[in-house]
A and B are shown apart, each in its own frame.
Chain A
């Protein structure tokens, strides 16, 4: 592959979008944004704009998909046709199918599945605009949607990616860095339990670089976790403040 492209990170360690190597893109989180969902959340992470909605626990349709001894989590990760530069067909792509699976598998460890047998929770993630790191932003919003639905959780799941551009390990790649960079490592994490629930990687990293990237991503996760807690508390705290006036 031709390596001829503009440098993604300059001599002073500043990236093309002005960030330092370990800097997160700006983030905005809102909980309880959809009136029909049992729980919902909206995230803006860099230029990513993603909605997550949770329905349930409720009876599953079709019924035969339910399990006799535990709750089932179903997840659909879907990108709007206008979310990317070149219009994306509304039909589910193989990437969306894989991401739906890994997102579901990264949230399941947070749930007490055995508590509500024969029920299901349906999670829908709609990517309205994508700019790199959508699966991580989706997970961060999805966990809030599930908490907002009143489903008990061991911890909020938060996600963030790190990677390598030019020769530097950096945090939170945006689209250009993801496409032109040397590696991308998305990580989902439950901070209270020190648990990594999603880990993927593509690219080329030495074991040391991989360790550095994973740790950097976990640090990013911890920062975003604080914002998640704030967003959740804000929705319920507004009521408290109004009352104490």
Chain B
């Protein structure tokens, strides 16, 4: 992995965590500062740029039309893709999506899809023939830890910012009406990622903390407190008790984040 963090520093982080502290003076369960900017890419139907501490993710949403999937003829289609571009970290290489970017995209996708954040039936233009296809493209601009949560927030913010053209079928023909309508979003899932260092769970791991942690767990929570997606990552393990502890922490933080972002 990245050789940017020296062994001495890693030991330091471990020792701090043991005492319940983090190098940037956060509490074990504190998020870094979150800043969101929406609508900055005018050519995209929706966009948002999120700063989570120094981690920066830009998400652009493009809405096009296409055919629905055969088993869901009345529903729109959503697809999430993520790019870990080389400018974001010396460890990212140019090229086709690798396993990290694919995992990132699929985890963000799951949070949105399983919580049914987008009202898919409202994306139907002509049942069985034409629906809206929502492309969510995650562009990581700077990697300073916790790409999952930053991307998930940016994706949601971009979707909330998305406007689609108005269509109607008149005399068997597809016509674009005047004006735009907002992408129908009916739920605001929040993903909370926790890292495990020795046996302590920390929320929103920073880049150096990611070097020390042996594994991570991410949970997507909706407004009702339902868990919609879970992903364990990393080469370590959790005891069942630690997972239940993580679930409790995720619940609390999801409420907090949703409130902070006004979702």
Contact = CB atoms under 8 A, between A and B. Distances in A.
Interface of A: 1-2, 94-95, 97-98, 100-102, 105, 108-109, 185, 190, 193-207, 210-211, 214-215, 218
A201 B227 contact: yes
B237 A196 contact: yes
Contacts of B185: none
Contact of B106 (A94, A204, A205, A211): A94
A135 to B, nearest CB: 13
Interface stretch (B53-61, B108-116, B171-179): B108-116
A218 B110 contact: no
Interface string B35-75: 00000000000000000000000000000000000001011
Summarize B's interface: helix, strand, loop or mixed.
mixed
Contacts of A198: 232
B81 to A, nearest CB: 9
Given A97-B99, A211-B247, A108 B235 contact: yes
Nearest to A203: B114
A12 to B, nearest CB: 28
Interface stretch (B142-150, B161-169, B238-246): B238-246
Nearest to A101: B99
B251 interface: yes
A204 B226 contact: yes
A203 B251 contact: no
B120 A105 contact: no
A124 to B, nearest CB: 16
Interface residues of B, number: 40
A57 to B, nearest CB: 17
A142 to B, nearest CB: 15
B28 interface: no
B105 interface: yes
Contacts, number: 97
Given A185-B230, A205-B226, A210-B247, A105 B235 contact: yes
A59 B22 CA distance: 39
A109 B237 contact: yes
A207 to B, nearest CB: 5
Which 5 residue pairs spanning A and B have beta carbons closest together? A201-B230, A195-B237, A108-B235, A199-B232, A101-B99
B27 interface: no
B190 interface: no
Given A190-B237, A210-B227, A202 B232 contact: no
B230 A200 contact: yes
A211 B244 contact: yes
Contacts of A101: 99-100, 102-103
A200 B103 contact: no
Contacts of A108: 235
Contacts of B215: 105
Nearest to B222: A204
B99 A100 contact: yes
A207 B236 CA distance: 23
A220 B234 CA distance: 23
Contacts of B248: 207
Contacts of B182: none
A207 B230 contact: no
Contacts of B74: 2
A210 B229 CA distance: 10
A221 B170 CA distance: 57
A196 B243 contact: yes
A208 to B, nearest CB: 10
Nearest to A201: B230
B40 to A, nearest CB: 28
A109 B236 contact: yes
Nearest to B214: A109
Contact of A201 (B229, B233, B240): B229
B240 A1 contact: no
A202 B235 CA distance: 21
B105 A94 contact: yes
A154 to B, nearest CB: 10
Contacts of A190: 237
B202 interface: no
Given A97-B102, A199-B230, 19 more contacts: A2-B74, A95-B106, A105-B215, A105-B235, A108-B235, A109-B236, A195-B237, A195-B238, A195-B239, A196-B238, A196-B239, A196-B243, A197-B237, A200-B230, A201-B230, A204-B222, A205-B227, A210-B247, A214-B243
B67 to A, nearest CB: 16
B237 A193 contact: yes
